[in-house]
Structure 1
Amino acid sequence: MRVLLCGATGFIGRHIARALRDHGHQVLAASRSGQAAVGQEPLAVNFMAMTQPSDWLPLLTGVDAVINAVGVLRDSRRQPMQLLHTQAPQALFQACADAGVRRVLQVSALGIEGQDSSYALTKAEADNTLLALTERGELDGVVLRPSVVFGRGGAGSELFVKMSRLRWLALPPEGRRTLIQPVAVPDMANACAQLLGPASATRGLLVCTGPQALSLEALLASLRQQRGDKPARVSTMPAALARGSAWAGDLLPCTPWGRQTLGLLQRDNTASAAEAAQFDAVLGHAPCPPNQLLARTWS
Protein backbone atom coordinates (compact mmCIF):
# COMPACT_ATOMS: atom_id res chain seq x y z
CA MET A 1 0.00 0.00 0.00
CA ARG A 2 0.94 3.63 -0.47
CA VAL A 3 0.25 5.25 2.91
CA LEU A 4 -0.03 8.95 3.69
CA LEU A 5 1.38 9.28 7.22
CA CYS A 6 0.74 12.67 8.85
CA GLY A 7 3.10 13.51 11.68
CA ALA A 8 5.76 11.18 10.30
CA THR A 9 8.65 12.85 12.15
CA GLY A 10 7.01 12.82 15.60
CA PHE A 11 7.78 10.31 18.34
CA ILE A 12 5.03 7.84 17.47
CA GLY A 13 5.01 8.76 13.78
CA ARG A 14 8.68 7.81 13.32
CA HIS A 15 8.04 4.35 14.70
CA ILE A 16 4.89 3.91 12.62
CA ALA A 17 6.82 4.85 9.48
CA ARG A 18 9.50 2.28 10.26
CA ALA A 19 6.92 -0.44 10.94
CA LEU A 20 5.08 0.34 7.70
CA ARG A 21 8.29 0.15 5.71
CA ASP A 22 9.22 -3.16 7.41
CA HIS A 23 5.84 -4.53 6.36
CA GLY A 24 6.45 -3.58 2.74
CA HIS A 25 4.33 -0.41 2.53
CA GLN A 26 5.34 2.75 0.69
CA VAL A 27 5.33 5.70 3.10
CA LEU A 28 4.42 9.22 2.04
CA ALA A 29 5.90 10.97 5.09
CA ALA A 30 4.01 14.22 5.74
CA SER A 31 5.48 16.66 8.27
CA ARG A 32 5.99 20.37 8.73
CA SER A 33 9.69 20.02 7.97
CA GLY A 34 9.26 17.84 4.91
CA GLN A 35 11.98 15.52 6.21
CA ALA A 36 11.86 11.77 5.92
CA ALA A 37 13.99 8.76 6.77
CA VAL A 38 15.65 6.63 4.12
CA GLY A 39 13.08 4.71 2.13
CA GLN A 40 10.27 7.21 2.68
CA GLU A 41 8.85 9.84 0.35
CA PRO A 42 9.07 13.27 2.07
CA LEU A 43 6.17 15.70 1.95
CA ALA A 44 6.13 19.16 3.57
CA VAL A 45 2.66 20.04 4.90
CA ASN A 46 1.51 23.06 6.87
CA PHE A 47 -1.19 21.22 8.82
CA MET A 48 -2.62 24.48 10.20
CA ALA A 49 -3.53 25.52 6.67
CA MET A 50 -5.23 22.22 5.80
CA THR A 51 -8.69 22.98 7.15
CA GLN A 52 -10.82 22.17 4.07
CA PRO A 53 -11.25 18.81 2.31
CA SER A 54 -10.10 20.48 -0.91
CA ASP A 55 -6.75 21.22 0.73
CA TRP A 56 -6.12 17.50 1.19
CA LEU A 57 -7.50 16.07 -2.04
CA PRO A 58 -4.33 16.68 -4.14
CA LEU A 59 -2.28 14.75 -1.57
CA LEU A 60 -4.54 11.70 -1.77
CA THR A 61 -3.86 10.86 -5.42
CA GLY A 62 -2.52 7.31 -5.56
CA VAL A 63 -2.89 6.87 -1.77
CA ASP A 64 -4.41 3.63 -0.45
CA ALA A 65 -4.57 4.44 3.29
CA VAL A 66 -4.06 7.37 5.66
CA ILE A 67 -2.69 7.50 9.20
CA ASN A 68 -2.93 10.68 11.27
CA ALA A 69 -0.35 10.82 14.07
CA VAL A 70 -0.23 14.61 14.49
CA GLY A 71 -0.47 15.76 18.10
CA VAL A 72 0.78 18.43 20.49
CA LEU A 73 0.57 18.58 24.29
CA ARG A 74 0.27 22.36 24.60
CA ASP A 75 -2.13 24.81 23.01
CA SER A 76 -0.33 27.85 21.61
CA ARG A 77 -0.50 30.43 18.86
CA ARG A 78 2.27 28.61 17.06
CA GLN A 79 0.55 25.22 17.39
CA PRO A 80 -3.18 25.74 18.06
CA MET A 81 -4.87 22.50 19.06
CA GLN A 82 -8.17 23.42 17.46
CA LEU A 83 -6.47 23.51 14.07
CA LEU A 84 -4.04 20.62 14.52
CA HIS A 85 -6.24 18.21 16.46
CA THR A 86 -9.68 19.01 15.11
CA GLN A 87 -10.10 21.09 11.96
CA ALA A 88 -7.24 19.66 9.89
CA PRO A 89 -8.04 15.99 10.73
CA GLN A 90 -11.76 16.50 10.15
CA ALA A 91 -11.00 17.97 6.73
CA LEU A 92 -8.61 15.08 6.02
CA PHE A 93 -11.19 12.45 6.96
CA GLN A 94 -13.85 14.04 4.76
CA ALA A 95 -11.37 14.30 1.89
CA CYS A 96 -10.62 10.59 2.26
CA ALA A 97 -14.34 9.83 2.04
CA ASP A 98 -14.67 12.06 -1.03
CA ALA A 99 -11.62 10.50 -2.72
CA GLY A 100 -12.51 6.89 -1.91
CA VAL A 101 -9.52 6.33 0.40
CA ARG A 102 -11.40 4.12 2.83
CA ARG A 103 -8.75 2.95 5.32
CA VAL A 104 -8.01 5.72 7.83
CA LEU A 105 -6.25 5.41 11.21
CA GLN A 106 -6.34 8.16 13.83
CA VAL A 107 -3.82 8.12 16.70
CA SER A 108 -5.63 9.58 19.70
CA ALA A 109 -5.25 9.00 23.45
CA LEU A 110 -6.90 6.91 26.13
CA GLY A 111 -8.61 8.79 28.93
CA ILE A 112 -9.89 11.79 26.97
CA GLU A 113 -13.54 10.83 27.48
CA GLY A 114 -15.23 13.24 29.87
CA GLN A 115 -12.18 15.48 30.15
CA ASP A 116 -12.56 19.23 29.62
CA SER A 117 -8.94 20.04 28.73
CA SER A 118 -8.14 21.49 25.34
CA TYR A 119 -6.16 18.39 24.47
CA ALA A 120 -9.01 16.02 25.29
CA LEU A 121 -11.77 18.07 23.70
CA THR A 122 -9.95 18.71 20.41
CA LYS A 123 -8.81 15.10 20.05
CA ALA A 124 -12.30 13.80 20.81
CA GLU A 125 -13.88 16.02 18.15
CA ALA A 126 -11.70 14.53 15.42
CA ASP A 127 -12.17 11.00 16.78
CA ASN A 128 -15.95 11.40 16.68
CA THR A 129 -15.84 12.63 13.08
CA LEU A 130 -13.91 9.56 11.94
CA LEU A 131 -16.15 7.23 13.93
CA ALA A 132 -19.26 8.85 12.44
CA LEU A 133 -17.95 8.51 8.89
CA THR A 134 -17.15 4.87 9.63
CA GLU A 135 -20.59 4.26 11.14
CA ARG A 136 -22.19 5.68 7.99
CA GLY A 137 -20.11 3.34 5.83
CA GLU A 138 -18.14 6.12 4.14
CA LEU A 139 -14.79 5.07 5.66
CA ASP A 140 -13.18 2.03 7.27
CA GLY A 141 -11.73 3.98 10.17
CA VAL A 142 -9.97 3.06 13.39
CA VAL A 143 -9.34 5.41 16.30
CA LEU A 144 -6.36 4.13 18.28
CA ARG A 145 -6.42 5.24 21.91
CA PRO A 146 -3.18 4.30 23.68
CA SER A 147 -2.39 4.63 27.34
CA VAL A 148 1.07 6.07 28.04
CA VAL A 149 3.26 5.28 25.02
CA PHE A 150 6.75 4.37 26.19
CA GLY A 151 9.99 4.52 24.21
CA ARG A 152 13.22 6.39 23.63
CA GLY A 153 12.56 9.82 22.16
CA GLY A 154 9.15 10.25 23.75
CA ALA A 155 9.05 13.35 25.93
CA GLY A 156 7.06 11.61 28.65
CA SER A 157 9.22 8.51 28.54
CA GLU A 158 12.41 10.54 28.75
CA LEU A 159 10.97 12.34 31.79
CA PHE A 160 10.01 9.07 33.47
CA VAL A 161 13.47 7.60 32.91
CA LYS A 162 15.11 10.71 34.38
CA MET A 163 12.77 10.61 37.36
CA SER A 164 13.54 6.93 37.91
CA ARG A 165 17.21 7.79 38.33
CA LEU A 166 16.49 9.96 41.37
CA ARG A 167 17.03 8.36 44.77
CA TRP A 168 14.32 10.56 46.33
CA LEU A 169 11.02 11.38 44.66
CA ALA A 170 8.07 13.61 45.52
CA LEU A 171 5.12 12.61 43.36
CA PRO A 172 1.71 14.28 43.00
CA PRO A 173 -1.06 12.29 44.70
CA GLU A 174 -2.28 11.11 41.29
CA GLY A 175 1.14 9.61 40.58
CA ARG A 176 0.78 7.27 43.53
CA ARG A 177 -2.82 6.13 43.06
CA THR A 178 -3.91 6.54 39.41
CA LEU A 179 -3.31 3.50 37.23
CA ILE A 180 -1.75 3.63 33.78
CA GLN A 181 -1.09 0.80 31.37
CA PRO A 182 2.04 1.76 29.38
CA VAL A 183 2.35 0.42 25.85
CA ALA A 184 5.74 0.05 24.18
CA VAL A 185 6.01 2.29 21.12
CA PRO A 186 7.08 -0.63 18.85
CA ASP A 187 3.81 -2.38 19.76
CA MET A 188 1.85 0.77 19.00
CA ALA A 189 3.57 1.10 15.62
CA ASN A 190 3.18 -2.57 14.79
CA ALA A 191 -0.56 -2.34 15.53
CA CYS A 192 -0.86 0.33 12.83
CA ALA A 193 0.94 -1.89 10.34
CA GLN A 194 -1.26 -4.87 11.27
CA LEU A 195 -4.39 -2.76 10.77
CA LEU A 196 -3.34 -2.32 7.15
CA GLY A 197 -2.81 -6.06 6.76
CA PRO A 198 -3.96 -9.06 8.79
CA ALA A 199 -6.22 -6.93 11.04
CA SER A 200 -7.73 -4.89 8.20
CA ALA A 201 -11.26 -5.91 9.20
CA THR A 202 -10.98 -3.98 12.48
CA ARG A 203 -13.17 -0.87 12.71
CA GLY A 204 -14.04 1.72 15.35
CA LEU A 205 -12.20 2.21 18.64
CA LEU A 206 -9.03 0.30 19.49
CA VAL A 207 -7.62 0.72 22.99
CA CYS A 208 -3.84 0.18 22.95
CA THR A 209 -2.19 -0.82 26.22
CA GLY A 210 0.44 -3.01 27.72
CA PRO A 211 -0.57 -6.13 29.67
CA GLN A 212 -0.33 -4.66 33.19
CA ALA A 213 -1.90 -1.71 34.99
CA LEU A 214 0.28 0.07 37.54
CA SER A 215 0.75 3.48 39.11
CA LEU A 216 3.38 5.94 37.96
CA GLU A 217 5.17 5.23 41.23
CA ALA A 218 5.24 1.52 40.44
CA LEU A 219 6.42 2.19 36.88
CA LEU A 220 9.32 4.28 38.14
CA ALA A 221 10.19 1.55 40.63
CA SER A 222 10.14 -1.00 37.81
CA LEU A 223 12.48 1.13 35.70
CA ARG A 224 14.92 1.31 38.63
CA GLN A 225 14.72 -2.44 39.10
CA GLN A 226 15.34 -3.04 35.39
CA ARG A 227 18.61 -1.10 35.72
CA GLY A 228 19.55 -2.90 38.93
CA ASP A 229 19.13 0.21 41.11
CA LYS A 230 17.96 0.09 44.72
CA PRO A 231 14.42 1.32 45.48
CA ALA A 232 14.00 5.09 45.74
CA ARG A 233 12.45 6.94 48.65
CA VAL A 234 9.04 8.27 47.61
CA SER A 235 6.86 10.89 49.27
CA THR A 236 3.59 12.56 48.29
CA MET A 237 3.69 16.10 46.96
CA PRO A 238 0.97 18.35 48.38
CA ALA A 239 -1.89 18.71 45.91
CA ALA A 240 -1.53 22.50 45.80
CA LEU A 241 2.16 22.17 44.98
CA ALA A 242 1.39 19.61 42.26
CA ARG A 243 -1.08 22.02 40.67
CA GLY A 244 1.47 24.83 40.91
CA SER A 245 4.16 22.72 39.29
CA ALA A 246 1.75 21.90 36.46
CA TRP A 247 1.09 25.60 35.90
CA ALA A 248 4.86 26.21 35.89
CA GLY A 249 5.33 23.32 33.47
CA ASP A 250 3.03 25.03 30.98
CA LEU A 251 5.59 27.82 30.78
CA LEU A 252 8.42 25.42 29.90
CA PRO A 253 8.04 23.99 26.38
CA CYS A 254 10.96 21.62 27.02
CA THR A 255 8.95 19.47 29.44
CA PRO A 256 5.75 17.43 28.90
CA TRP A 257 4.58 18.17 32.44
CA GLY A 258 1.74 20.66 32.63
CA ARG A 259 -1.96 21.05 33.33
CA GLN A 260 -2.93 18.88 30.35
CA THR A 261 -0.77 16.03 31.66
CA LEU A 262 -2.00 16.44 35.22
CA GLY A 263 -5.57 16.35 33.94
CA LEU A 264 -4.95 13.00 32.23
CA LEU A 265 -3.73 11.62 35.58
CA GLN A 266 -7.00 12.41 37.31
CA ARG A 267 -8.48 9.01 36.43
CA ASP A 268 -7.23 5.53 35.61
CA ASN A 269 -5.87 5.15 32.09
CA THR A 270 -6.41 1.43 31.57
CA ALA A 271 -8.17 -1.10 29.34
CA SER A 272 -10.94 -3.54 30.11
CA ALA A 273 -10.27 -7.25 29.64
CA ALA A 274 -12.17 -7.22 26.34
CA GLU A 275 -10.28 -4.16 25.07
CA ALA A 276 -6.93 -5.71 26.01
CA ALA A 277 -7.86 -8.93 24.22
CA GLN A 278 -8.77 -7.00 21.07
CA PHE A 279 -5.38 -5.23 21.07
CA ASP A 280 -3.59 -8.56 21.56
CA ALA A 281 -5.52 -9.97 18.60
CA VAL A 282 -4.55 -7.04 16.38
CA LEU A 283 -0.89 -7.36 17.35
CA GLY A 284 -0.89 -11.12 16.95
CA HIS A 285 1.13 -11.48 20.16
CA ALA A 286 1.15 -10.32 23.77
CA PRO A 287 2.34 -6.71 24.18
CA CYS A 288 5.52 -5.84 26.03
CA PRO A 289 5.14 -5.99 29.86
CA PRO A 290 6.33 -3.06 32.02
CA ASN A 291 9.31 -4.97 33.39
CA GLN A 292 10.78 -5.28 29.88
CA LEU A 293 10.20 -1.73 28.64
CA LEU A 294 13.82 -0.61 28.87
CA ALA A 295 15.14 -3.74 27.18
CA ARG A 296 12.59 -3.49 24.37
CA THR A 297 12.63 0.27 23.75
CA TRP A 298 15.80 1.80 25.20
CA SER A 299 18.60 -0.35 23.82
Structure 2
Amino acid sequence: MSTTSIRSVLVCGASGFVGRRIVRSLREAGLAVTAGDSRTQDFQQDLSPEVWVPRVTGFDAVVNAVGLLRDTPRRQLEPIHHRAPAALFEACARAGVARVIQISANGVTQSPTRYATTKRAADEVLLRLRAEGRVDGIVLRPSIVFGRGGASAALFMNLARLPVLVLPRAAVHAQVQPVAVPDVAQAVLRLLQDGGPELVTAVGPRALSLSAFIGELRRQRGQTTARVIPLPDAPSRWSARLGDYVSSQPWSSESLALLEQDNIGDAAAFAHVLGRPAVPVEQFVEAAWASDL
Protein backbone atom coordinates (compact mmCIF):
# COMPACT_ATOMS: atom_id res chain seq x y z
CA MET A 1 0.00 0.00 0.00
CA SER A 2 1.20 3.48 -0.80
CA THR A 3 1.17 6.12 1.94
CA THR A 4 -0.06 9.62 1.09
CA SER A 5 -0.94 12.33 3.59
CA ILE A 6 -4.70 12.87 3.23
CA ARG A 7 -6.27 15.76 5.15
CA SER A 8 -8.98 17.31 2.96
CA VAL A 9 -11.60 15.17 1.24
CA LEU A 10 -14.53 15.94 -1.06
CA VAL A 11 -17.30 13.35 -0.72
CA CYS A 12 -19.74 13.37 -3.64
CA GLY A 13 -23.10 11.84 -2.79
CA ALA A 14 -22.68 12.77 0.88
CA SER A 15 -26.44 12.92 1.47
CA GLY A 16 -26.95 9.27 0.47
CA PHE A 17 -27.13 6.19 2.66
CA VAL A 18 -23.47 5.17 2.28
CA GLY A 19 -22.21 8.72 1.74
CA ARG A 20 -23.54 9.93 5.10
CA ARG A 21 -21.69 7.18 6.94
CA ILE A 22 -18.49 7.89 5.02
CA VAL A 23 -18.65 11.57 5.95
CA ARG A 24 -19.20 10.68 9.62
CA SER A 25 -16.33 8.19 9.67
CA LEU A 26 -13.88 10.58 8.02
CA ARG A 27 -14.81 13.49 10.30
CA GLU A 28 -14.51 11.32 13.40
CA ALA A 29 -10.97 10.49 12.22
CA GLY A 30 -10.16 14.20 12.09
CA LEU A 31 -10.21 14.72 8.33
CA ALA A 32 -11.56 17.94 6.82
CA VAL A 33 -14.57 16.80 4.78
CA THR A 34 -16.58 18.78 2.27
CA ALA A 35 -19.95 17.13 1.75
CA GLY A 36 -21.04 17.33 -1.87
CA ASP A 37 -24.63 16.54 -2.84
CA SER A 38 -25.36 14.93 -6.20
CA ARG A 39 -28.28 17.31 -6.66
CA THR A 40 -26.31 20.52 -6.08
CA GLN A 41 -23.29 19.14 -7.94
CA ASP A 42 -25.54 18.18 -10.81
CA PHE A 43 -24.45 14.69 -11.88
CA GLN A 44 -27.23 14.80 -14.46
CA GLN A 45 -25.65 17.73 -16.36
CA ASP A 46 -22.07 18.33 -15.17
CA LEU A 47 -20.46 16.03 -17.70
CA SER A 48 -17.19 17.75 -18.63
CA PRO A 49 -13.88 17.77 -16.75
CA GLU A 50 -13.65 21.54 -17.17
CA VAL A 51 -16.68 21.97 -14.88
CA TRP A 52 -15.16 19.73 -12.22
CA VAL A 53 -11.53 20.94 -12.15
CA PRO A 54 -12.21 24.06 -10.02
CA ARG A 55 -14.43 22.02 -7.70
CA VAL A 56 -11.76 19.40 -6.92
CA THR A 57 -8.70 21.66 -6.94
CA GLY A 58 -7.14 21.87 -3.50
CA PHE A 59 -8.51 18.59 -2.19
CA ASP A 60 -6.15 15.75 -1.23
CA ALA A 61 -8.77 13.12 -2.07
CA VAL A 62 -12.21 12.65 -3.60
CA VAL A 63 -14.76 9.94 -2.81
CA ASN A 64 -17.60 9.29 -5.26
CA ALA A 65 -20.52 7.74 -3.36
CA VAL A 66 -23.24 8.82 -5.80
CA GLY A 67 -25.57 5.99 -6.69
CA LEU A 68 -28.98 5.37 -8.23
CA LEU A 69 -30.72 2.00 -8.44
CA ARG A 70 -32.59 2.70 -11.68
CA ASP A 71 -33.68 5.37 -14.12
CA THR A 72 -36.33 7.80 -12.92
CA PRO A 73 -38.11 10.59 -14.83
CA ARG A 74 -35.72 13.17 -13.33
CA ARG A 75 -32.48 11.21 -12.91
CA GLN A 76 -30.84 8.81 -15.37
CA LEU A 77 -28.24 6.11 -14.73
CA GLU A 78 -25.95 6.85 -17.68
CA PRO A 79 -24.99 10.42 -16.73
CA ILE A 80 -25.11 9.86 -12.96
CA HIS A 81 -23.19 6.58 -12.84
CA HIS A 82 -20.91 6.91 -15.85
CA ARG A 83 -20.51 10.24 -17.65
CA ALA A 84 -20.37 12.60 -14.64
CA PRO A 85 -18.01 10.34 -12.64
CA ALA A 86 -15.79 9.94 -15.71
CA ALA A 87 -15.54 13.74 -15.96
CA LEU A 88 -14.93 13.95 -12.20
CA PHE A 89 -12.09 11.41 -12.33
CA GLU A 90 -10.41 13.13 -15.29
CA ALA A 91 -10.68 16.45 -13.44
CA CYS A 92 -9.03 14.90 -10.38
CA ALA A 93 -6.13 13.74 -12.55
CA ARG A 94 -5.73 17.21 -14.06
CA ALA A 95 -5.99 18.97 -10.68
CA GLY A 96 -3.42 16.77 -8.95
CA VAL A 97 -5.82 15.11 -6.48
CA ALA A 98 -3.75 12.47 -4.72
CA ARG A 99 -6.36 9.73 -4.26
CA VAL A 100 -9.83 8.93 -5.62
CA ILE A 101 -12.19 6.26 -4.33
CA GLN A 102 -15.18 5.12 -6.39
CA ILE A 103 -18.01 3.36 -4.51
CA SER A 104 -19.25 0.80 -7.00
CA ALA A 105 -20.99 -2.54 -6.34
CA ASN A 106 -20.00 -6.18 -6.21
CA GLY A 107 -21.16 -8.20 -9.20
CA VAL A 108 -21.15 -5.37 -11.75
CA THR A 109 -18.55 -7.21 -13.83
CA GLN A 110 -20.99 -10.00 -14.74
CA SER A 111 -24.39 -8.32 -14.61
CA PRO A 112 -26.01 -7.02 -17.85
CA THR A 113 -28.33 -4.63 -16.00
CA ARG A 114 -28.15 -0.90 -16.68
CA TYR A 115 -27.23 -0.34 -13.05
CA ALA A 116 -24.21 -2.64 -13.40
CA THR A 117 -23.07 -1.59 -16.87
CA THR A 118 -23.11 2.12 -16.01
CA LYS A 119 -21.27 1.56 -12.72
CA ARG A 120 -18.74 -0.67 -14.49
CA ALA A 121 -18.11 1.95 -17.16
CA ALA A 122 -17.11 4.52 -14.52
CA ASP A 123 -14.97 1.95 -12.69
CA GLU A 124 -13.05 1.28 -15.89
CA VAL A 125 -12.34 4.98 -16.40
CA LEU A 126 -10.81 5.29 -12.93
CA LEU A 127 -8.84 2.07 -13.30
CA ARG A 128 -7.44 3.29 -16.64
CA LEU A 129 -6.32 6.56 -15.05
CA ARG A 130 -4.61 4.56 -12.32
CA ALA A 131 -2.90 2.30 -14.86
CA GLU A 132 -1.64 5.41 -16.66
CA GLY A 133 -0.20 6.73 -13.38
CA ARG A 134 -2.35 9.87 -13.49
CA VAL A 135 -4.27 9.34 -10.23
CA ASP A 136 -4.23 6.83 -7.38
CA GLY A 137 -7.70 5.42 -8.00
CA ILE A 138 -9.38 2.66 -6.00
CA VAL A 139 -12.71 1.01 -6.79
CA LEU A 140 -14.60 -0.29 -3.74
CA ARG A 141 -17.29 -2.82 -4.61
CA PRO A 142 -19.57 -3.69 -1.66
CA SER A 143 -21.97 -6.59 -1.55
CA ILE A 144 -25.44 -5.84 -0.15
CA VAL A 145 -24.89 -2.99 2.33
CA PHE A 146 -26.94 -3.25 5.52
CA GLY A 147 -27.76 -0.38 7.85
CA ARG A 148 -30.46 2.03 8.96
CA GLY A 149 -31.31 4.42 6.15
CA GLY A 150 -30.67 1.94 3.36
CA ALA A 151 -33.65 1.15 1.13
CA SER A 152 -32.73 -2.51 0.70
CA ALA A 153 -31.99 -2.90 4.42
CA ALA A 154 -35.40 -1.45 5.25
CA LEU A 155 -36.99 -3.91 2.83
CA PHE A 156 -35.17 -6.84 4.44
CA MET A 157 -36.15 -5.69 7.95
CA ASN A 158 -39.79 -5.40 6.86
CA LEU A 159 -39.65 -8.88 5.35
CA ALA A 160 -38.11 -10.15 8.59
CA ARG A 161 -41.36 -9.25 10.38
CA LEU A 162 -43.38 -11.69 8.28
CA PRO A 163 -44.03 -15.27 9.46
CA VAL A 164 -44.36 -16.36 5.81
CA LEU A 165 -41.88 -15.20 3.17
CA VAL A 166 -42.74 -15.33 -0.52
CA LEU A 167 -39.44 -14.77 -2.34
CA PRO A 168 -38.36 -15.13 -5.98
CA ARG A 169 -37.17 -18.68 -6.46
CA ALA A 170 -33.84 -17.65 -8.01
CA ALA A 171 -33.18 -15.17 -5.20
CA VAL A 172 -33.89 -17.81 -2.56
CA HIS A 173 -30.92 -19.88 -3.72
CA ALA A 174 -28.47 -17.14 -4.73
CA GLN A 175 -25.66 -16.51 -2.25
CA VAL A 176 -25.16 -13.07 -0.71
CA GLN A 177 -22.45 -11.83 1.63
CA PRO A 178 -23.92 -8.70 3.24
CA VAL A 179 -21.65 -6.06 4.74
CA ALA A 180 -22.51 -3.60 7.51
CA VAL A 181 -22.46 0.05 6.41
CA PRO A 182 -20.04 1.09 9.21
CA ASP A 183 -17.51 -1.35 7.71
CA VAL A 184 -17.86 0.18 4.25
CA ALA A 185 -17.23 3.62 5.73
CA GLN A 186 -14.27 2.35 7.74
CA ALA A 187 -12.81 0.75 4.61
CA VAL A 188 -12.99 4.09 2.81
CA LEU A 189 -11.11 5.74 5.69
CA ARG A 190 -8.42 3.08 5.66
CA LEU A 191 -8.02 3.23 1.88
CA LEU A 192 -7.75 7.01 1.98
CA GLN A 193 -5.09 6.85 4.68
CA ASP A 194 -3.07 3.87 3.44
CA GLY A 195 -3.97 3.33 -0.21
CA GLY A 196 -4.72 -0.15 -1.48
CA PRO A 197 -5.19 -2.39 -4.50
CA GLU A 198 -7.09 -1.10 -7.50
CA LEU A 199 -10.16 -3.21 -6.67
CA VAL A 200 -11.51 -3.97 -3.18
CA THR A 201 -14.58 -6.14 -2.61
CA ALA A 202 -16.40 -5.26 0.61
CA VAL A 203 -18.14 -8.32 2.05
CA GLY A 204 -19.11 -9.70 5.41
CA PRO A 205 -17.50 -12.80 6.91
CA ARG A 206 -20.16 -15.30 5.77
CA ALA A 207 -22.03 -16.12 2.57
CA LEU A 208 -25.63 -17.28 2.91
CA SER A 209 -28.84 -17.43 0.91
CA LEU A 210 -31.15 -14.44 0.85
CA SER A 211 -33.80 -16.40 2.75
CA ALA A 212 -31.23 -17.40 5.38
CA PHE A 213 -30.16 -13.76 5.69
CA ILE A 214 -33.73 -12.63 6.34
CA GLY A 215 -34.12 -15.55 8.75
CA GLU A 216 -31.05 -14.35 10.65
CA LEU A 217 -32.54 -10.86 10.92
CA ARG A 218 -35.70 -12.47 12.33
CA ARG A 219 -33.63 -14.33 14.93
CA GLN A 220 -31.98 -11.08 16.03
CA ARG A 221 -35.42 -9.54 16.42
CA GLY A 222 -36.41 -12.42 18.72
CA GLN A 223 -38.77 -14.04 16.24
CA THR A 224 -39.20 -17.66 15.23
CA THR A 225 -38.20 -19.16 11.89
CA ALA A 226 -40.38 -18.05 9.00
CA ARG A 227 -41.86 -20.32 6.37
CA VAL A 228 -40.28 -19.62 2.95
CA ILE A 229 -42.35 -20.06 -0.22
CA PRO A 230 -40.34 -19.77 -3.48
CA LEU A 231 -42.20 -17.69 -6.05
CA PRO A 232 -41.95 -19.12 -9.59
CA ASP A 233 -40.02 -17.14 -12.19
CA ALA A 234 -42.96 -15.72 -14.12
CA PRO A 235 -44.79 -14.19 -11.12
CA SER A 236 -41.44 -12.91 -9.85
CA ARG A 237 -40.90 -11.02 -13.10
CA TRP A 238 -44.46 -9.67 -13.04
CA SER A 239 -44.08 -8.33 -9.50
CA ALA A 240 -40.74 -6.76 -10.42
CA ARG A 241 -42.28 -5.07 -13.45
CA LEU A 242 -44.98 -3.60 -11.24
CA GLY A 243 -42.21 -2.28 -9.01
CA ASP A 244 -40.68 -0.56 -12.05
CA TYR A 245 -43.55 1.95 -11.89
CA VAL A 246 -42.88 2.93 -8.26
CA SER A 247 -39.45 4.57 -8.25
CA SER A 248 -39.58 5.34 -4.51
CA GLN A 249 -39.17 1.68 -3.51
CA PRO A 250 -36.26 -0.69 -4.25
CA TRP A 251 -38.12 -3.63 -5.83
CA SER A 252 -37.82 -3.61 -9.62
CA SER A 253 -36.67 -5.65 -12.59
CA GLU A 254 -33.14 -4.33 -12.01
CA SER A 255 -33.07 -5.43 -8.37
CA LEU A 256 -34.54 -8.85 -9.27
CA ALA A 257 -31.79 -9.39 -11.85
CA LEU A 258 -29.13 -8.39 -9.32
CA LEU A 259 -30.55 -10.74 -6.67
CA GLU A 260 -30.59 -13.67 -9.08
CA GLN A 261 -26.77 -13.85 -9.16
CA ASP A 262 -24.36 -14.71 -6.36
CA ASN A 263 -22.94 -11.65 -4.59
CA ILE A 264 -19.95 -12.92 -2.64
CA GLY A 265 -16.23 -12.24 -2.22
CA ASP A 266 -13.05 -12.81 -0.23
CA ALA A 267 -13.81 -11.99 3.41
CA ALA A 268 -10.16 -12.37 4.45
CA ALA A 269 -9.01 -9.82 1.87
CA PHE A 270 -11.59 -7.31 3.06
CA ALA A 271 -10.64 -7.93 6.71
CA HIS A 272 -7.05 -7.10 5.73
CA VAL A 273 -8.19 -3.74 4.35
CA LEU A 274 -10.23 -3.05 7.51
CA GLY A 275 -7.46 -4.16 9.84
CA ARG A 276 -9.96 -6.42 11.61
CA PRO A 277 -12.73 -8.90 10.74
CA ALA A 278 -15.89 -7.34 9.34
CA VAL A 279 -19.03 -7.30 11.48
CA PRO A 280 -20.68 -10.74 11.27
CA VAL A 281 -24.24 -10.97 9.99
CA GLU A 282 -25.25 -12.31 13.41
CA GLN A 283 -24.60 -8.81 14.85
CA PHE A 284 -26.10 -6.68 12.07
CA VAL A 285 -29.19 -5.45 13.91
CA GLU A 286 -27.18 -4.32 16.93
CA ALA A 287 -24.18 -2.93 15.04
CA ALA A 288 -25.76 -1.35 11.96
CA TRP A 289 -29.46 -0.84 12.72
CA ALA A 290 -30.18 -0.26 16.42
CA SER A 291 -26.92 1.68 16.84
CA ASP A 292 -28.20 4.37 14.44
CA LEU A 293 -31.36 5.13 16.40
Indicate the TM-score class for this superposition, using the shorter chain for normalisation. Answer: over 0.9
Q: Which amino acid aligns with 1:259?
A: S
Q: CA deviation at 1:100?
A: 0.8
| Deviating 4+ runs (over 3 angstroms) | none
2:158 is equivalent to residue 167 of structure 1: no
Cα distance in structure 1, aligned partners of 2:13 and 2:21: 11
Cα distance in structure 2, aligned partners of 1:230 and 1:181: 22
Q: Which amino acid aligns with 1:183?
A: V
Cα distance in structure 2, aligned partners of 1:77 and 1:253: 9
Deviations 1:104-134 (A, max 9, x none): 0000000111222110110000000001111
Contact 1:167 1:231 survives alignment (8 Å): yes
Q: CA deviation at 1:282?
A: 1.2
The answer for the alignment partner of 1:54 in structure 2 is 50
Q: CA deviation at 1:23?
A: 0.9
TM-score by length of 2: 0.95
Aligned 1:1-299 pairs, distance under 5 A = 1-32=7-38, 44-197=40-193, 199-200=194-195, 202-271=196-265, 275-299=266-290
Structure 2 unaligned segments of length 5 or more: list them: 1-6
Cα distance in structure 1, aligned partners of 2:203 and 2:46: 31
Q: CA deviation at 1:32?
A: 4.1
Deviations 1:29-86 (A, max 9, x none): 11045xxxxxxxxxx3112121000010111122110000001011134111110000
Number of equivalences: 284
- Percent identity between matched residues is 46
RMSD between aligned residues: 1.0
Cα distance in structure 2, aligned partners of 1:74 and 1:221: 27
Q: Which amino acid aligns with 1:266?
A: E
Structure 1 unaligned segments of length 5 or more: list them: 34-43
Cα distance in structure 2, aligned partners of 1:264 and 1:298: 23
Cα distance in structure 1, aligned partners of 2:165 and 2:209: 14
1:244 to 1:70, Cα distance in 2 relative to 1, 3 A: same
Deviations 1:185-228 (A, max 9, x none): 0000010011111x32x131000000000111001110111111
Cα distance in structure 1, aligned partners of 2:287 and 2:241: 33
Q: Which amino acid aligns with 1:69?
A: A
TM-score by length of 1: 0.93
Cα distance in structure 2, aligned partners of 1:50 and 1:68: 14
Q: Which amino acid aligns with 1:51?
A: L
